[in-house]
Amino acid sequence: MDKKIKVLDCTLRDGAYIVESKFGIPAIKGIIKKLQDAKIDIIECGWLKDKMHVNGTSFYHIPSDIMPYMSEKRERCTYVAMIDWDRYNLSNLPINDGKSIDAIRVVFPHDHFKEGIALGKIIKEKGYQVYFQAANTLDYSNSDLVKMAECINEAEPICLSVVDTFGAMYGDDLERIVSVLDKELNTNIKLGFHSHNNQQLAFSNAMRFVELLYYTEREIIVDSSLCGMGRGAGNATTELLVNYLNRKHNGNYDLNAIMDAIDMYMGYFIEHYQWGYSTPYFISGIYCAHVNNIAYLLNNHRTNAKDMQNIIEALPAEDRKKYDYNLLEQKYLEYQNKVVDDEEVMNTLKLVLRDKKVLLILPGKSVVNDREKIDKYIEEHKPVIIGINAVSQDYKCDYLFFCNTVRYDYAKEIYTDVFYKNKRIVASNIKTTADEDEMIVNFNSLVKRGWEHFDNSGIMCLRLLDKLQIADVAIAGFDGFKDGYDESYADVSLPHINPGKKWGELNEEIKDMYQDFRNKTRDYMNVEFVTESYYEENY
């Protein structure tokens, strides 16, 4: 292959975010060997960190920590590790003895490129090749790029890489940056590209990068990872990239060795971890928001896509690029804390429901499978029926209770007639102004934080009934999650609001919330399960 183009595989470095660097000894050794066999030009073995190396991780303290994973160092390969410009003490870095890595990549943010480049000069003095990564290159104006290129030329590294940190670049953005840097950089300095897949453009932009520079004098380096493994939306995939180069640019990479690496070492990570394009990480891309902000909203609040977009949009542009969790929590609470005066609504509901039995119809599959049992209960007890976060056409409800925007919109659009025929109790996180036959109740008065899934609809409605002083409650369809979505819901098309498939953990958490509620209300509220439930008390 024309070595004008080189591939840098960053699986063990960028993928370290996904597995907290804990790939395991066999996977690290095996991935390096298979990438060598595949004739990958540059193998990024992981990070150099200011802490001692733990066996089986791709966080190393000094280059010699990497040697046990390099069973056979190949001359045609270049071996690199990355340091963050302000997170590695170069006094720990020994003189290069040629036995471990050949080069170090230094990543620096937009406003600290001079400091990052200064570190590169020290690294060169210790005998290592130096590669630079200009994080969030999209943020650089043309004049910024010229200034950075001047400093890069003085430092004389092997390569400067353009980095699409937030996966926000379109082709014209990449062309602008590349055209300036190709003009300003010395021709002996390679130009690289590291893409992210927030907008499903990582591979497309990688190909665009190759085409932009293929007929110039400059050599280029393109980053990729096996299966696109990397933080958030992930990267361009090594298997797609090498196949493209083999077919279009006379590449001689061994795709079979790449496939062996995937089959032998990536299956476990694919099964147990998540990365790659998703709607939340698309939001990160369109707002140039740090992926940690997205992860925080997902992990701590299970924020849906529309709400996440509004919360990220509420952050100042500069703060989106960082991850200030205190500020993010503040914006989340401001967004959720849509306080309404619900005193009149609560008084009305108290009068309507006074001394009545209330039956909650939740979306579990038992509302279909045990319909005779539920119908019999309704016939015998004549309860007020409240449908919870979903519409069931099999039961005539007196009220529908909604506390999730996606479920509210789904019910309105798919079951329009039933939706508008029922009176609706709507939590204020969905809306603060009531339409006809709607009553708005304060969201924050119905939740108790401390659990990941604190906004479970069944628990929230029970808390509402407690505030309304209801003494006799029956529940149907509060089944608990089974192994598959189809086995958990009566309506299998009901929008999924519990990302991931940790059904057992979710069941235990909801059970804990229910027990917490019953510990408070057991003396004055009777709760009866009409259908079997994982959460039913056993006393």
The pLDDT score that the predictor gives to residue 2 is 45
3-state SS class at 5: strand
3-state SS class at 520: helix
Q: Give CA–CA dist 483/501, Å, rounded.
A: 8
Quickly tell me which residue has 């509004």 as its tokens.
Answer: 310
Q: How many CB atoms lie under 10 A from the CB of residue 436?
A: 7
CB 278 within 8 A of CB 233: yes
The CA-CA-CA angle for residues 128, 131, 135, to 5°, reads 145
The pLDDT score that the predictor gives to residue 539 is 37
The pLDDT score that the predictor gives to residue 508 is 92
The pLDDT score that the predictor gives to residue 386 is 97
CB 510 within 8 A of CB 364: no
Per-residue pLDDT tens listing for the chain (539 residues): 448 999 999 999 999 999 999 999 999 999 999 999 999 999 999 999 999 999 999 999 999 999 999 988 998 999 999 999 999 999 999 999 999 999 999 999 998 999 999 999 999 999 999 999 999 999 999 999 999 999 999 999 999 999 999 999 999 999 999 999 999 999 999 999 999 999 999 999 999 999 999 999 999 999 999 999 999 899 999 999 999 999 999 999 999 999 999 999 999 999 999 999 988 889 999 999 998 898 888 877 777 788 888 889 889 888 998 888 889 888 887 777 666 889 999 999 999 999 999 999 999 999 999 999 999 999 999 999 999 999 988 899 999 999 988 899 999 999 999 999 999 999 998 898 999 999 999 998 998 888 878 889 999 999 999 999 999 999 999 999 886 656 788 888 887 766 555 778 889 999 999 999 999 999 999 999 999 999 987 63
Residues 6+ apart with CB under 8 A from 123: 90, 93, 104, 106, 130
State the chain's maximal CA–CA distance in angstroms: 87
What are the structure tokens assigned to 205, written together?
């932009």
Q: Give CA–CA dist 172/162, Å, rounded.
A: 14
The pLDDT score that the predictor gives to residue 307 is 83
Q: Give CA–CA dist 164/380, Å, rounded.
A: 64
Residues 6+ apart with CB under 8 A from 331: 311, 314, 315
Rounded CA Rg of the chain: 28
Question: Beta 59-60 vs 438-441: how paired, if at all?
Answer: unpaired
CA-nearest of 208, 229, 228, 231 to 220 is: 208
End-to-end CA distance of the chain: 73
Write the single-letter amino acid at 283.
I
Sign of the torsion formed by the C-alpha atoms of 426, 428, 431 and 434: positive
The pLDDT score that the predictor gives to residue 484 is 61
Q: Give CA–CA dist 412/265, Å, rounded.
A: 46
3-state SS class at 530: coil
The pLDDT score that the predictor gives to residue 495 is 79
